[in-house]
Structure 1
Amino acid sequence: MAVNAAPSGKAPAGRLAGRWVPWLVIGLWLVLAAGMVPLSGKLSSVTTDSAVDTLPAGAESTKVAALDDSLPGGEDSTFVFVYHRAEGLTAADRAAVQRHYDTLAKRYPAKTTEAGDEDDEGSPTSLSTDRKAMTFTLDVSSVYGPPEELVGPLRDAAKDRPSGLELEVTGPGAIDGDMDAVFDGIDEQVLLTTIAVVTLLLILTYRSPVLWIIPLVAVGAAALTSMGTVYLLVKGFGIVVNDQNSALLTILVFGVGTDYALLLIARYREALHHHENVRGAMVHALRGAAPAIVASAATVVSGLLCLLVADLNSTSGLGPIGAAGILCALVAMLTLFPVCSWCSAGGSSGRPSRGSARPWRRSRGCGDGSAPPSTAAGGWRRSARSESSACSPWGWRATLPPCGNRTSSCPCRSRSPASPFCASTSRSSAASR
């Protein structure tokens, strides 16, 4: 029998329980998503890994890098071609090296050539003293494209060489191109991996193949909103965002949002023991969990904003980036997630439809009119039955709320008073009575 149940047909106290509020919140989030989704896609266009942008503005190394970029040819990409054969280079090998250089020099000519340079430079290729290796250097202007677009065609152009002659393309341009290729698409990979891990954790936590969708949708909305917010911060305040900070933003939002969802749902499950009206249960859960969630978010945001005093621009930019992610997750989990859970449980009627709130009540315990765990069937209920077989002194059954019954058959009566969880359960039961 439910305790403190709201009267039938009567809305719970408080304006948040109004029937129009959840739909208003959903409408506002749809409007926000329409504006933030396009902005979130532009975040990659403002990320930078340039040394001039990430290093401190007053550092001498930053000034040198800025001067180097401003000098003629400072934006050129340098590629070093290293040919080697363990047995020693043959005449055919040396001819192939010279042919490769001539071909590439004609394909990527320098922008300007001073008179007499070719006579002063001598041979462009260099042979090692042991005659086992041969190298040449090629400077490619930025007008032909960035390093990541050049390194592939350069390696393909040197494939026509004698058998056994090995080639390695290195140098600053090749290193930059390979690094960009490694991190190309890292945001999408991190996002998909994070979604897969969070989905698995939610399925294991809720023991339901369906309930994980609601927190995941809310966290996804928070992630998109945070990306759009960070883009606006970059445009408005000029903070530095690199690829690493962008990837950390996604992980941070999903991790924090999932944590807030687990705490809120735990309170919601407890409230369903005392409220037949799902709106009243959700309002009660919000009133109980929101102070702890807001305090946790404020602590993390305050710590992240301390990074603003860092000298490195990439580190100081991580502070507002992380703070924006935390705040977006906080707002989404205290607004969008509750109304989505409310709609899935009872709709606009305020009372749970047939079977709709049953998954949230799965761990209600004894005395609520449901079938005892010993008679439950199915893989998910067998998992719940094995979990609820005994009370753990480490709070193993944190998802099982107190039922408040005084019957001798209730397992809550046989819990050890030495258990911290059982002690909190006794206090909660006494308070409810």
Structure 2
Amino acid sequence: MQHRNPLTWLTDRALGNIGRWVVIGLWLVAAGLLSGVAPKLANYYNDKATSSIGTPESVQASAIVAKAFPHQQGLPAIIVVSNPSGLTTADQHVATQIACWLLTDAQRAANAACAGLTYPDPRPADAGPVVSLVNIPQAKNQLVSTDGTTQTIIVALNLPQSDSLAIQKDIKAIRAYTDSLAGPSLAVKVTGPSGILADLVNIFAGADVKLLLTTVLLVLVLLAVIYRSPLLALLPIIGVGWVLAIVNGILGFAAKAQLFPIGQQPTSIMDVLLFGAGTDYTIFIVARLREELRHQPDRHVALQTTMRSVGEAITSSAGTVILGLLTLVLTVLGLYSSLGLVLAIAVAVMLLAGLTLVPAILSVLGNAAFWPFIPRVQTATERAAEAAKPESGFWGAIARFVVRNPVAAIIGSLVLLGALALGNLGIRPDFNSLSDLRNPTPSTDGYKILAKHFAPGTLAPFNVVIHWR
């Protein structure tokens, strides 16, 4: 009994007269349904995917504190009020205005400093405990710099770090209010863990769009130059667009069900990876199909032959990548664990598209896919002449050298790769999260003011947890 290769069975079915339309229809329905009914992934981003680091002492200590002091949790925002010439009475009034705005109605009523003050906007709903000169004057040494130029107000947001979108919304509201009180000589900046997280979310949100547009443009230009066909240049874009809609839907359901935490960073990387993988698989298929069309007049047979050979190649390539990505699940750092799962799922769906959707679209387009440079079938004389002629050009010369001198090629490759790897010797680990913010942001501006006017550790000391069992 003859056993058929599963890949051959799959690709042959996808290329049938009816099968190709069924495949395109199924992908279209899946993308449409998941885009319409799946939870929006951005609403369920969980930054535990980037902050979790297994169970070291710091994580254990945080768990003990959260259990013992459940009402003292929250991610702090630090509001920096600074005047390089020294805080004036008017500047101190601004600090009082901000502190009173952040207090609850009951706290304002009980504090004489807040009497008579009005507030155009309500305090953020998630604002928690406030540490300021208004309600804790005995903390002056910790809240006011020794040179009298800078004063801080600390407010804890009653939100988990994983709820980055809600934190971003609260920080935006706080900044809208504090910015209205700043003056020519008075800087009012919101920094601290909440402020930094909000700026990181803003940067990644903007970077996603720029990165996606740049990638699409680069793919279009490269494929247009390589194949000189507008339809072939658009093919990977169409395929990846379909896959993105489906993968985002799958991840949206997974995030809502809390199957595993998904952060914004892995999904940003996923977009670029999918375009890389999708373009790679498409180039494999198109290049092989172009060769077949020069020998086979029946384009359907040519496409079947192409997929029977290329299908195994792209499956092996994708399988290796998927297995490599899944090893990241074993890491203790949440960022890499989440990254491995997200990217493995994305590559698996892209592989399925490469084996079914891409060849089905090529089958429907036919020779028009290569317009205006449609391959023609070579004559027997042309094939014989081509076989007798050695491969010319740069890549032909490289191929001949490697075949004739395999040992030299291996040694040369190792030397070249080793030289390129020498740059790793200059890498120095950087544990400063602000280094991710290359351009100035309100949080980096505020942090620079704090670093200039407060001693190290004053605002963010180490906490030692002693737990009796």
TM-score past 0.5 threshold: yes
Distance 1:156 1:304, change over 3 A: closer
**Among 376, 382, 389, which residue is 1:413 paired with?**
389
> Is 1:269–1:361's contact at 8 Å kept on the other side of the alignment?
no
Q: Which residue of 1 is the match for residue 346 of structure 2?
A: 325
Q: Which residue of 2 is the match for residue 388 of structure 1?
A: none
Letter in 1 for 2:262: V
Distance 1:150 1:262, change over 3 A: same
**Among 50, 56, 59, which residue is 1:59 paired with?**
56
> Is 1:108–1:140's contact at 8 Å kept on the other side of the alignment?
no
Q: Which residue of 2 is the match for residue 131 of structure 1?
A: 148
* 2:173 is the alignment partner of 1:149: no
The Cα shift of 1:280 comes to: 1.2
- Secondary structure (helix, strand or coil) at the match of 2:235 reads helix
> Is 2:128–2:156's contact at 8 Å kept on the other side of the alignment?
no
The Cα shift of 1:260 comes to: 0.7
Distance 1:363 1:185, change over 3 A: same
Taking only aligned residues, the RMSD between alpha carbons, in angstroms, comes to 3.9
Report the Cα distance in structure 2 between the residues aligned to 1:122 and 1:421, rounded to whole angstroms: 74
Report the Cα distance in structure 2 between the residues aligned to 1:192 and 1:164, rounded to whole angstroms: 40
> Is 2:38–2:252's contact at 8 Å kept on the other side of the alignment?
yes
The Cα shift of 1:264 comes to: 0.5
Report the Cα distance in structure 1 between the residues aligned to 2:100 and 2:371, rounded to whole angstroms: 72
Report the Cα distance in structure 1 between the residues aligned to 2:96 and 2:137, rounded to whole angstroms: 18
Report the Cα distance in structure 2 between the residues aligned to 1:231 and 1:95, rounded to whole angstroms: 47
Q: Which residue of 2 is the match for residue 287 of structure 1?
A: 308
> Is 1:93–1:162's contact at 8 Å kept on the other side of the alignment?
no
Letter in 2 for 1:59: P
The Cα shift of 1:83 comes to: 2.6
Q: Which residue of 1 is the match for residue 78 of structure 2?
A: 80
Q: Structure 1, residues 94-126: CA drift from partner, whole Å, max 9, x if none?
A: 33333443344345497789xxx9588477995
> Is 2:231–2:370's contact at 8 Å kept on the other side of the alignment?
no
Q: Which residue of 2 is the match for residue 181 of structure 1?
A: 202
Distance 1:24 1:93, change over 3 A: closer
How many residues matched? 361
- Secondary structure (helix, strand or coil) at the match of 1:62 reads helix
> Is 2:41–2:248's contact at 8 Å kept on the other side of the alignment?
yes
> Is 2:45–2:255's contact at 8 Å kept on the other side of the alignment?
no
> Is 2:14–2:360's contact at 8 Å kept on the other side of the alignment?
no
The Cα shift of 1:135 comes to: 3.1
- Secondary structure (helix, strand or coil) at the match of 1:82 reads strand
> Is 2:303–2:363's contact at 8 Å kept on the other side of the alignment?
yes
Q: Which residue of 1 is the match for residue 185 of structure 2?
A: 164
> Is 1:272–1:361's contact at 8 Å kept on the other side of the alignment?
no
Report the Cα distance in structure 2 between the residues aligned to 1:129 and 1:252, rounded to whole angstroms: 51
Report the Cα distance in structure 1 between the residues aligned to 2:392 and 2:142, rounded to whole angstroms: 83
Q: Structure 1, residues 170-196: CA drift from partner, whole Å, max 9, x if none?
A: 223322322232233554444333322
Alignment of 1:15-414 (within 5 A): 18-38=16-36, 42-50=40-48, 54-69=51-66, 71-105=69-103, 106=108, 108=123, 121=138, 126-139=143-156, 141=158, 146-158=166-178, 159-160=180-181, 163-184=184-205, 186-234=207-255, 238-345=259-366, 356=368, 359=371, 362=374, 404-406=383-385, 413=389
The Cα shift of 1:60 comes to: 3.1
Q: Structure 1, residues 366-398: CA drift from partner, whole Å, max 9, x if none?
A: x569xxxxxxxxxxxxxxxxxxxxxxxxxxxxx
The Cα shift of 1:315 comes to: 1.9
Letter in 1 for 2:22: L
The Cα shift of 1:269 comes to: 0.4
Identical-residue share of aligned pairs (%): 28
Report the Cα distance in structure 1 between the residues aligned to 2:372 and 2:285, rounded to whole angstroms: 12
Distance 1:403 1:235, change over 3 A: farther
Q: Structure 1, residues 19-49: CA drift from partner, whole Å, max 9, x if none?
A: 2221222222233223333466533333211
Distance 1:90 1:334, change over 3 A: same
Report the Cα distance in structure 1 between the residues aligned to 2:294 and 2:78, rounded to whole angstroms: 72
The Cα shift of 1:267 comes to: 0.8
Report the Cα distance in structure 2 between the residues aligned to 1:233 and 1:119, rounded to whole angstroms: 44
- Secondary structure (helix, strand or coil) at the match of 2:181 reads coil
The Cα shift of 1:160 comes to: 3.0
* Greater displacement, 333-342 / 104-113: 104-113
